[in-house]
């Protein structure tokens, strides 16, 4: 399979280490001292045991339990019983004593002043339980997914719980997500402080990331063409799931069992595009002993078949065929199904279609009854990163007969040390990670796939990968002069057969002038495939070889058969960019196939157009637009007219002068290239819809393409 690859530098383990040996003494000659080091792994399990009457089983001892890991018996080294009180509290019970009264002559203390430093989840010291006999609950408000009315409803439910339903055993933390994950309050039982935090939520914060479906349920805005926001929806959903993963990783420093109550107005998944991040979030929660309790902040929804007054009419045939109503119902069920998956796969429960949102918090409260914390130092010291299955049983036969529920984590992934991997191990790790159902997401990756016609049955599909330079900054701080990035990927067709693959690597310098800006720039990897029209799935992995960090990107895409297009003017993908780079300026080059580079549609006169995967630009930049229009039956160029427009809502903010093209037809591909350079200084900072319009007057055909972009100051 022909391809090209170019990389450009653009704009709970418990470890004991021995002390370093002292410098050799002159009297000791060349005698060397032995240094011993050891690594042990403490595995902690939260075990919930209920009898047949639904009550917790009390009074068990370590000798009443049997633990095996991969079939091998383990010795219990840590054993605690967490006894949690039941019943609501009528008065606040702060964990810290009230401040003493001050003399009248002294000014009152300003206890309401918030700390300037960022609030964080305070970790536990190894072997200690910070919150003994306390129930740990987190209220997580996803402000990006909730419209204003849902944010108010979630706030009211949280206040109701704090007023009337909190118990003396409850310790509550508050987190929010708007632009990033913020800990508003660490675990506390100070009800007044928690109420103040909830009341201080900024209603309306985090707006602008709403899901905009492009199906028969979409509103008719009156525009000539409705844009495809799939890429933005995928990005926004991954942001929501990644925020949850960040939260549970903060909670992983605590050995106790935790419940995370997640307020959201659903999570819209886009097929399998968000599957990698969803699995990563769920697995992180399982490792951290966190159960999700999602609450649909929309409450009980009784929506009209074609939507209520908050949205415009869909328009089109779908209103009369029933497809618009089916799309509305399908999207709503899809959003709730993701919430249900988060709960079911982590041992929690989802509250859906209920106006009393506080019931979801109470459900999390009731599910966490008294439980046992059991820990052991595993006898498997291999740092291979493999999954290890745990089995816990009650050896006391009399007690075992009364048990109706024995709930605990079924296994974990062992630790691994990447520096100890040899070349064979590294190759095997990449191959296993590619086939792994559970994707590795240590490194952030963004991908763009485009298509350009080569013949009636063949298309060139460039694949562009971007990795933030900050992901490689850790290797640079480790003192390495350079690092190697390994890439592996494959493309499978609708039947699961491999249609293309790539295995490559590049060397990146970590010293010198170019490396100084590493953390502020991005690294781009480019490759390409020749594919027939059809539906495909692409999976790509990248690994940095100093730290061993890996990242996965998986998505579905379609290469259309433009030969069958009769109604509209067939066009290629539209590439948006803010940068052109000479090929000889590449910081690292994986492979240069001269034939492929010569035919690459984004390369002209030795200069490559770098696609902007995220479509975020600055006002001081030029926006480069490239696409191809196809005239399959023409022997000479049929004149074309094209322009680029920018909309803010329904208002046209700017439009380029018409571009008239009368030559440039490629005799082999029948493609007419169209190129624009738009100075973004003409636009104000903000979000826009970029529209590319192409017209073939002689054939009386046209084509439209739209995508959202962001212009920064």
Predicted confidence at residue 293, as pLDDT, reads: 95
Reference 500, options 542, 557, 544, 456; nearest CA is: 557
List the beta strands (DSSP E) in 522-611.
Answer: 522-531, 534-544, 550-559, 575-582, 588-591, 603-604, 607-611
The predicted model scores a pTM of 0.54
Burial of 14 (0-12, 13-18, 19+ CB in 10 A): exposed
Q: Quick one: average pLDDT of 587-608?
A: 66
Predicted confidence at residue 36, as pLDDT, reads: 55
Number of H helices, E strands in the chain: 12, 36
Contact by Cβ (8 Å): 567, 625: no
Q: Quick one: average pLDDT of 561-575?
A: 89
* Domain definitions of the chain by residue range: 44-86+373-413, 135-364, 615-713
Check residues 335 and 45 and name the one with the higher pLDDT: 45
Average pLDDT, the chain: 79
Residues sharing a CB contact under 8 Å with residue 80, sequence separation 6 or more, in sequence order = 129, 132, 372, 373
Structure tokens at 190: 């100070």
Predicted confidence at residue 588, as pLDDT, reads: 45
Q: Quick one: average pLDDT of 416-444?
A: 71
Lowest mean pLDDT among 102-116, 258-272, 308-322, 624-638: 102-116
Ramachandran area for residue 664 (φ above 0: left; ψ -120 to 50: alpha; else beta): left
Q: How confident is the model at residue 567 (pLDDT cuts 50, 70, 90)?
A: confident
Check residues 18 and 608 and name the one with the higher pLDDT: 608
Q: Quick one: average pLDDT of 476-482?
A: 64
Q: How confident is the model at residue 20 (pLDDT cuts 50, 70, 90)?
A: very low
Ramachandran area for residue 343 (φ above 0: left; ψ -120 to 50: alpha; else beta): alpha
Structure tokens at 699: 């054939």
Contact by Cβ (8 Å): 369, 257: no
Predicted confidence at residue 127, as pLDDT, reads: 60
Predicted confidence at residue 105, as pLDDT, reads: 41
Alpha-carbon dihedral sign for residues 439, 441, 442, 446? positive
Reference 293, options 399, 394, 179, 158; nearest CA is: 158
- What does the CA dihedral 638, 643, 644, 648 come to, rounded to 10 degrees? -130
Q: How confident is the model at residue 226 (pLDDT cuts 50, 70, 90)?
A: very low
Structure tokens at 410: 């079924």
Q: Could you write out the DSSP letters of every residue in 225-262? A: S----HHHHHHHHHHHHHHHHHHHHHHTT--S-EEEEE
Predicted confidence at residue 205, as pLDDT, reads: 77
Residues 108-161 pLDDT 10s: 444 444 444 457 888 877 667 788 889 999 999 998 888 889 999 999 999 999
**Cα separation of 170 and 334, whole Å?**
33
Predicted confidence at residue 162, as pLDDT, reads: 93
Distances (CA, A) of 275 to 266, 281, 437, 532, 551: 16, 10, 10, 26, 14
Predicted confidence at residue 557, as pLDDT, reads: 93
Check residues 451 and 116 and name the one with the higher pLDDT: 451
Check residues 689 and 582 and name the one with the higher pLDDT: 689
Q: Quick one: average pLDDT of 337-360?
A: 89
- Is residue 43 within a helix (H) or strand (E), and if so which, with residue range? strand 42-51
Predicted confidence at residue 204, as pLDDT, reads: 80
Predicted confidence at residue 673, as pLDDT, reads: 94
Q: Which CATH architecture has domain 615-713?
A: Sandwich (2.60)
Q: How confident is the model at residue 272 (pLDDT cuts 50, 70, 90)?
A: low
User: Regarding beta strands 258-264 and 65-69, do their DSSP bridges make them parallel or antiparallel, or are they unpaired?
Assistant: unpaired
Per-residue pLDDT at 239 exceeds 50: yes
Predicted confidence at residue 13, as pLDDT, reads: 27
Reference 469, options 415, 518, 431; nearest CA is: 518
**Cα separation of 171 and 192, whole Å?**
13
Predicted confidence at residue 107, as pLDDT, reads: 44
Per-residue pLDDT at 261 exceeds 50: yes
Q: Which residue has the tokens 């849902």?
A: 150
Structure tokens at 282: 């769920």
Which fold, 135-364? Rossmann fold (3.40.50)
Residues sharing a CB contact under 8 Å with residue 207, sequence separation 6 or more, in sequence order = 143, 144, 147, 148
Per-residue pLDDT at 598 exceeds 70: no
Predicted confidence at residue 66, as pLDDT, reads: 93
Q: How confident is the model at residue 21 (pLDDT cuts 50, 70, 90)?
A: very low
Predicted confidence at residue 278, as pLDDT, reads: 82
Per-residue pLDDT at 196 exceeds 80: yes
Check residues 51 and 206 and name the one with the higher pLDDT: 51
**Cα separation of 459 and 450, whole Å?**
10
Q: Could you write out the DSSP letters of every residue in 19-37? A: PPPPPPPGGGTT-------
Q: How confident is the model at residue 2 (pLDDT cuts 50, 70, 90)?
A: very low
Q: Quick one: average pLDDT of 570-592?
A: 74
Reference 677, options 552, 533, 576; nearest CA is: 576
Check residues 625 and 38 and name the one with the higher pLDDT: 625
**Cα separation of 486 and 506, whole Å?**
7
Lowest mean pLDDT among 340-349, 469-478, 505-514, 628-637: 469-478
Per-residue pLDDT at 265 exceeds 60: yes
Burial of 90 (0-12, 13-18, 19+ CB in 10 A): exposed
**Cα separation of 572 and 642, whole Å?**
14
Q: Could you write out the DSSP letters of every residue in 638-705? A: PPEEEEEEEEETTEEEEEPPPEEE-----TTT-EEEEEEEEEGGGS-SEEEEEEEEEEETTTTEEEEE
The alpha-carbon radius of gyration of the chain (Å, integer) is 29
Q: C-alpha angle 692/695/701, rounded to 5°? A: 120
Q: How confident is the model at residue 172 (pLDDT cuts 50, 70, 90)?
A: very high
Alpha-carbon dihedral sign for residues 124, 125, 127, 132? negative
Alpha-carbon dihedral sign for residues 187, 189, 193, 194? positive
Check residues 103 and 277 and name the one with the higher pLDDT: 277
Per-residue pLDDT at 179 exceeds 50: yes
**95 in helix, strand or coil?**
coil
Predicted confidence at residue 27, as pLDDT, reads: 42
**330 in helix, strand or coil?**
helix
Reference 266, options 156, 180, 147; nearest CA is: 147
Predicted confidence at residue 597, as pLDDT, reads: 62
Q: Quick one: average pLDDT of 449-464?
A: 91
* Percent of the chain residues past pLDDT 90, beyond the cut: 29
Q: How confident is the model at residue 94 (pLDDT cuts 50, 70, 90)?
A: very low
Predicted confidence at residue 4, as pLDDT, reads: 38
Question: How many residues does the structure list for the chain?
Answer: 713
Reference 581, options 621, 608, 606, 599; nearest CA is: 608
Q: Quick one: average pLDDT of 393-408?
A: 88
């Amino acid at each position: 399979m022909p391809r090209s690859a170019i990389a450009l530098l653009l704009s709970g383990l418990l470890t004991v280490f021995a002390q370093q040996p002292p410098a050799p003494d002159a009297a000791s000659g060349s005698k060397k001292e032995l240094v011993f080091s050891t690594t042990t792994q403490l595995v902690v399990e939260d075990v919930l045991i209920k009898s047949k009457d639904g009550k917790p089983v009390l009074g068990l001892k370590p000798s009443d339990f049997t633990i095996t890991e991969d079939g091998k018996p383990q010795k219990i080294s840590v054993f605690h019983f967490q006894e949690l009180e039941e019943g609501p509290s009528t008065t606040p019970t702060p964990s810290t004593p009230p401040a003493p009264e001050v003399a009248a002559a002294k000014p009152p203390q300003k206890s309401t002043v918030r700390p300037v430093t960022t609030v964080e989840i305070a970790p536990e010291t190894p072997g200690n339980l910070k919150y003994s006999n306390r129930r740990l609950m987190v209220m997580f408000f996803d402000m990006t997914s909730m419209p204003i009315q849902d944010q108010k409803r979630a706030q009211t439910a949280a206040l109701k719980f704090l007023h009337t339903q909190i118990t003396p055993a409850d310790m509550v933390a508050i987190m929010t997500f708007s632009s990033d994950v913020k800990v508003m309050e660490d675990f506390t039982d100070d009800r007044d402080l928690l109420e103040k935090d909830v009341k201080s939520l900024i209603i309306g914060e985090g707006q602008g990331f709403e899901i905009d479906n492009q199906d028969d349920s979409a509103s008719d805005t009156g525009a000539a063409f409705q844009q495809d926001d799939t890429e933005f929806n995928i990005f926004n959903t991954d942001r929501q799931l990644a925020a949850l993963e960040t939260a549970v990783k903060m909670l992983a420093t605590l050995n106790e069992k935790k419940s995370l109550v997640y307020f959201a107005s659903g999570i819209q998944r886009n097929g399998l595009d968000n599957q990698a991040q969803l699995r990563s979030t769920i697995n992180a929660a399982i490792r951290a002993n966190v159960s999700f309790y999602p609450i649909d902040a929309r409450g009980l929804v009784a929506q009209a078949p074609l939507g209520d007054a908050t949205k415009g009419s869909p328009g089109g045939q779908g209103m009369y065929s029933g497809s618009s109503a089916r799309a509305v119902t399908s999207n709503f069920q899809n959003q709730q199904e993701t919430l249900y998956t988060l709960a079911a796969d982590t041992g929690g429960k989802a509250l859906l279609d209920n106006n009393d949102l506080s019931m979801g918090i109470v459900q999390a409260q009731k599910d966490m009854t008294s439980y046992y914390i059991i820990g052991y130092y595993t006898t498997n010291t291999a740092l291979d990163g493999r999954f290890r299955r745990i089995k816990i049983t009650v050896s006391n036969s009399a007690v075992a007969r009364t048990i109706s529920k024995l709930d605990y984590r079924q296994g974990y992934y062992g630790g691994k040390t990447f520096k100890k991997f040899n070349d064979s191990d590294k190759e095997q790790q990449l191959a296993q990670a590619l086939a792994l159902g559970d994707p590795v997401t240590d490194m952030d990756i963004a991908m763009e796939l485009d298509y350009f016609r080569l013949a009636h049955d063949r298309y060139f599909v460039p694949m562009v990968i971007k990795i933030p330079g900050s992901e490689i900054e850790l290797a640079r701080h480790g003192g390495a002069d350079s690092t190697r990035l390994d890439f592996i990927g494959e493309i499978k067709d609708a039947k699961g057969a491999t249609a293309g693959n790539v295995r490559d690597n590049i060397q990146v310098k970590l010293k010198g002038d170019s490396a100084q800006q590493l953390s502020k720039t991005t690294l781009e990897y480019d490759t390409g495939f020749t594919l027939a029209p059809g539906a495909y799935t692409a999976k790509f992995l990248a690994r940095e070889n100093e730290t061993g960090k890996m990242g996965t990107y998986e998505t579905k895409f379609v290469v259309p058969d433009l030969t069958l297009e009769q109604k509209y003017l067939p066009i290629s993908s539209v590439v948006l960019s803010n940068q052109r780079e000479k090929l000889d300026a590449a910081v690292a080059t994986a492979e240069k196939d001269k034939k492929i580079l010569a035919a690459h549609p984004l390369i002209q006169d030795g200069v490559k157009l770098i696609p902007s995967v995220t479509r975020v630009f600055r006002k001081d930049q030029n926006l480069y637009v490239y696409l191809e229009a196809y005239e399959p039956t023409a022997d000479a160029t049929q004149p074309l007219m094209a322009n680029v427009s920018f909309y803010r809502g329904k208002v046209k903010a700017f439009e380029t002068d018409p571009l008239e093209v009368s030559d440039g037809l490629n005799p082999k591909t029948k493609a007419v290239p169209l190129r624009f350079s738009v100075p973004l200084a003409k636009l104000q900072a903000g979000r826009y819809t970029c529209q590319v319009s192409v017209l073939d007057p002689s054939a009386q055909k046209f084509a439209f393409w739209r995508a959202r972009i962001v212009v920064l100051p």
